[in-house]
Amino acid sequence: MSWFSRITSGLKKTAANLGQGVKAAVGLSKKLDAQTREALEEALISADVGLPVAQALISDLQKKGIPEPLTEDSVKAALADLIESRLQPLAQPLLPITNNESPITILIAGVNGSGKTTTIGKLAAQWARQGHHVIVAAADTFRAAAVEQLKVWTDRAADASKKKGSVTIIPPAKEGADPAGVAFAALEQAQKDKADIVLIDTAGRLPNRSDLLAELTKITRVVKKLDASAPHATILVLDSTLGQSTLPQVRQFHEASPVTGLIITKLDGSAKAGFLLALAAEPNPLPVHAIGFGESLDDLGPFNAKAYARALVGLPAEE
C-alpha cells in the first residue's frame, strides 16, 4: 500500500465523523445557507479542528463560492482544498542528514505514552536503512523498564537496516542515572565513532512537573559542551488521540527547550485528526516532520498536506 493510501485508511475514524457530517449538511437544502453552514461547522468541530478554525473555513468556503445545488463531493473537494492550503506550511521534512563534521543531535520530547520510544525506533530504522550510523541515548532513566523497551526497538531497527547502517544504544551507567549524563556519553561516543545521528530518548515529562522540564533544559545545556550547535532539533511527539488538548503541551515544552518540530503519532486510532488545523492556526506554527499510523517500523512517514486534507474529509488519495 502506498503511503498516501496509508494516510487515507489511517484517518478513517476522523473521516467517518466529518464525512457523515458533511453528508447530513448537504442533505438539508443543497444550498450554502445559514442552516447548512452551521451543520458544516459542526462537522468540522467533530474532527477537533476547534471553533475558530471551523468558522474561518466556513467563511472561506462562502468566499470561494461553490455551485448549487451542492453535492457531497463538491463540498468535500472544496473543503479539502481549503484545508490543504492551511496545512501546507506545516509540511517540512526533518533536517537532511548530511556528512557533517559532528553528528546531528536530535532530542525527542513529549509526555508519557505519546510514542517517543516507538518513534525513535522507526526513525533509527529509516536512517540505518539509508546507510547512516545512528546512536540512541537511553536518557529515560526515570522508569526501569524504559531502557529495556528502547533496546527492543533499537534491535529491531538494527535488524531492519541489514547492516547497511547501524543502530547502537547507549544505556545509563546505572538505574536512575542522570539523563543529561547519558546524553553527554552518547554524543561523546558518536563523535568518537563518527556516527551520523544521535537520538536522545527522554522520560515522559508531565508538563506540570517542573523538575522534569528542568531535566530537559539540562540535557540541552550539557550536549552543548560537546557541540555548541546541538541539539540540532528538538522534536515534540504528540499523541493525536488527545486532539487539541496537546496544544498547551506544545507551549510548555517550548519553554523548556525550544521545540523545532513535531511528530504526530497514533493517527490510526484518532478521531481527532483535525487538530492539526488548530496547530496550524497557532501564532508561530511548528512544522510537522512525520506522522505515525501504527506500532511497526514502517508505520511512520512524511506529512503530506494534500493527502492528509483529502483523507480528513473522506476523499480518496490522489497520487
Ligand X SMILES: Nc1nc2c(ncn2[C@@H]2O[C@H](COP(=O)(O)OP(=O)(O)O)[C@@H](O)[C@H]2O)c(=O)[nH]1
Pattern of binders to ligand X over 118-147, x per CB under 6 A? x-----------------------------
Residue nearest to Mg ion (CB): 117
Residue pair 154/168 in contact (Cβ under 8 Å)? The answer is yes
Strands 133-138 and 233-239: unpaired
Sole residue written with cell 471551523: 54
- Give the closest residue to 280 by CA, choosing from 53, 32, 38, 42: 53
Q: How far is the CB of 119 from ligand X (least distance, A)?
A: 6
Q: Does 114 bind ligand X (CB under 6 A)?
A: yes
Question: Given candidates 52, 89, 93, 113, which one binds ligand X under the rule CB under 6 A?
Answer: 113
Question: Given candidates 50, 115, 165, 172, which one binds ligand X under the rule CB under 6 A?
Answer: 115
Task: Give whichever of 61 and 291 is closer to ligand X, judged by the CB atom.
Answer: 291
Question: Given candidates 112, 168, 191, 244, which one binds ligand X under the rule CB under 6 A?
Answer: 112
- Grid coordinates given for 209: 512537573
Q: How far is the CB of 146 from Mg ion (least distance, A)?
A: 5
Q: Which of residues 202-221 bind Mg ion (CB under 5 A)?
A: none
Binding partner selected for residue 126 from ligand X, Mg ion, none, CB under the kind-specific 5 to 8 Å limit: none
Question: Given candidates 117, 126, 257, 304, which one binds Mg ion under the rule CB under 5 A?
Answer: 117
Pattern of binders to ligand X over 264-293, x per CB under 6 A? -xx-xx----------------------xx
Q: How far apart are CA 83 and CA 31, in angstroms?
A: 21
Interface stretch with ligand X, choices 21-29, 76-84, 260-268, 276-284 (CB under 6 A): 260-268
Q: How far is the CB of 78 from Mg ion (least distance, A)?
A: 41
Q: Which of residues 291-310 bind ligand X (CB under 6 A)?
A: 292-295, 299
Q: How far is the CB of 152 from Mg ion (least distance, A)?
A: 11
Task: Give whichever of 118 and 246 is closer to ligand X, judged by the CB atom.
Answer: 118
Which residues 6+ apart lie within 8 Å of 221 measured at CB?
A: 180
Task: Give whichever of 116 and 310 is closer to ligand X, judged by the CB atom.
Answer: 116
- Grid coordinates given for 99: 556528512
Binding partner selected for residue 269 from ligand X, Mg ion, none, CB under the kind-specific 5 to 8 Å limit: ligand X
Task: Give whichever of 16 and 77 is closer to ligand X, judged by the CB atom.
Answer: 16
Binding partner selected for residue 294 from Mg ion, ligand X, none, CB under the kind-specific 5 to 8 Å limit: ligand X
Residue pair 274/308 in contact (Cβ under 8 Å)? The answer is no
Q: Does 154 bind Mg ion (CB under 5 A)?
A: no
Interface stretch with Mg ion, choices 36-44, 112-120, 210-218, 262-270 (CB under 5 A): 112-120
Footprint of Mg ion (CB under 5 A): 116-117
Footprint of ligand X (CB under 6 A): 110, 112-118, 204, 265-266, 268-269, 292-295, 299
